[in-house]
Amino acid sequence: MFQGYLPMILEGLRVTLSVASVSLAIACFIGLIGASAKVYGGRGIRLSATAYTTVVRALPDLLVMLVVFYGGQILLNSISETYGWGYLDVDPYIAGVSTIGFVFGAYLTETFRGAILSVPAGQIEAGFAYGLSRSQVAFYILLPQMIRHAVPGLTNTWLVMLKATALVSIIGLDDMVHRAGLASAATREPFTFYALIGLIYLAVTTVSVLLFGAVEKVSSRGVRSGGAA
Amino acid sequence: MIDWEIVVDNLPAFASGLVNTLILLVTVIVSGFAISVPLALVRATRSPYFSGPVWLFTYVIRGTPLLVQLFVIYYGIAQFEFVRSSVLWPLFRSPWFCAWLALTINTVAYTTEIFAGAIRTTAPGEIEAARSIGLSRAAVLRHVIWPSAWRRALPQYGNEVVMMMHATALASTVTIVEVMRVARDVYTNYLVLTESFGVAAAIYLCLTIGLTTLFRRLEKHFLRHLSRSDTSHTSGQRAERLNPKVA
């Protein structure tokens, strides 16, 4: 039915999943820094974090991606010119994950900011009163409780991001969409292959929702809820 | 640092790109709204025979990337001989029609869920009261359920419209010369970032600010009875798993 192209498409799925998960890690990292900057930073830091989240969320993902991709290329070339390394190419994988991480870091900044603020200040004070260091308070008190509040936003970001990875095919990354394009060109059956990857995306989304639902349950253990649960 | 000559030379191209972006956005939003409202009513019914198929539609669309949906329609449909020999072929051959169709289907899925969520959260007492003073089912829908659901949905709907504005940039992949395509062409011709993507970013930023201001005004108008409570905006991201308790 897929004329032997299925393994090739599934190999593309591996690229898609890898781009999505590495981007998520980068976005989480940026999000945590951004959220701490917004909550604990001074005026200047707070302003720049706000500028970052506002501007990135006001632009199409594709635009930010192309700016980082081409801008990174220009930057790399000017550095390489200074040191005489010759022409360097930006690796589309690195460009892809850093851009997607950069874009969704802005969304996660907001998610994590909300999560930090939802941990009662008294608990942080209590931690310090017991003589815990700043990092101990962060790791033992703040983070574990933040996760519970961050999971819904994180799930949402993951689902949006998974679909945003389709855009990396535009900057030449060999992901599932790109491979579907190759297979359609070779077989003249574009519908078959684009519909196939559509279904694969749907399957990944469905599994993700179930997994994150389980995480949400675990991270909310010990929390009394009003429902019959 | 900025080469203003390049900017000025390409302003007409950006202007016509902006017109195309706006045409696409407005047609998509208008048709999307018109289809979503009745679909949301069906989605919000208690009968699974009615709401189930609509749920399946929104689930499939919300679970797949818009770019793939666009490619399925623009490249995919042409695979079928019966479409190519039908009267519809001139439509499916046109990138404009395909982009409009893909974006509309996409926004219908999200908007339907937003509206259906708002409809479901209508206070039962309001409906009972309206029925008990003798309003017909249609009148209840028109005068009681929809006006309040629309108001509850407004902040999220505003978000969706901004997301669709951003999504029009994908039309650049199917040869439509909107703002994004103009920026990519200017970049290819001059190899400069600020004068190409920078200008596009400024345009999109203005559009985002314009739309958020418009929706803030609409909220002020429609939600003035709640003006003391907080109608804060959501994160600017689509809710993938919509909370049934919207309000």
Q: Is residue B241 part of a domain?
A: no
Residues 69-108 of chain A with CB under 8 A from chain B are: 70-71, 74, 107
Question: What is the distance of C-alpha B165 from the center of its chain?
Answer: 7
- The identity of residue B39, as a single letter, is L
Within 8 A of B193 by CB-CB distance, chain A residues are 67, 70-71, 74
pLDDT digits (tens, 9 = 90+) for B101-135: 999 999 999 999 999 999 999 999 999 999 999 99
Q: What pLDDT was estimated at residue B240?
A: 64
Q: What pLDDT was estimated at residue A131?
A: 94
Any residues with CB less than 8 A from the CB of A71 and at least 6 apart, and which?
A: B193
Any residues with CB less than 8 A from the CB of A70 and at least 6 apart, and which?
A: B187, B193, B197
Q: Under an 8 Å CB criterion, which residues of B touch A?
A: 59-60, 63-69, 71-72, 75-80, 166-170, 172-173, 180, 183-184, 187, 193, 197, 200-201, 204-205, 208-209, 235-241
CB-CB contact of A59 with B166 (8 Å) = yes
pLDDT digits (tens, 9 = 90+) for B25-69: 999 999 999 999 999 999 999 899 999 999 999 999 999 999 999
Distance to chain B for A197, nearest Cα, Å: 8
pLDDT digits (tens, 9 = 90+) for B135-150: 999 999 999 999 999 9
CATH code of B96's domain: 1.10.3720.10
Cα gap B29→B110, rounded to integer Å: 12
Which chain B residue lies closest to A195 (C-alpha atoms)? B72
Angstrom CA distances, A229 to A155, B171, B241, stand at 21, 46, 20
pLDDT digits (tens, 9 = 90+) for A169-198: 988 888 999 999 999 999 989 999 999 999
Distance to chain A for B227, nearest Cα, Å: 23
Q: Is residue B233 part of a domain?
A: no
Provide the residue ranges of all domains of chain A, joining segments of one domain with +.
Answer: 19-172
Confidence class for position B18, pLDDT limits 50, 70, 90: very high
pLDDT digits (tens, 9 = 90+) for B149-190: 999 999 999 999 999 999 999 999 999 999 999 999 999 998
The closest CB to that of B63, out of A67, A195, A202, belongs to A202
CB-CB contact of B148 with B222 (8 Å) = no
Residues 148-167 of chain A with CB under 8 A from chain B are: 152-153, 155-157, 159-160, 163-167
Q: Is residue B18 part of a domain?
A: yes
Q: What pLDDT was estimated at residue A226?
A: 59
> Can you give the three-state secondary structure of A92-123, one letter per residue?
HHHHHHHHHHHHHHHHHHHHHHHHHHCCCHHH
pLDDT digits (tens, 9 = 90+) for B208-242: 999 999 999 999 999 887 765 554 555 566 766 55
> What is A19-172's CATH number?
1.10.3720.10
pLDDT digits (tens, 9 = 90+) for A15-48: 999 999 999 999 999 999 999 999 988 999 999 9
Domain enclosing residue B71, as ranges:
4-226
User: Which residue matches tokens 């519908």?
Assistant: A191
Binary contact (A202, B60; C-beta < 8 A): yes
Based on the structure, what is the number of domains in chain B? Answer: 1
CB-CB contact of A98 with A115 (8 Å) = no
Binary contact (A155, B209; C-beta < 8 A): no
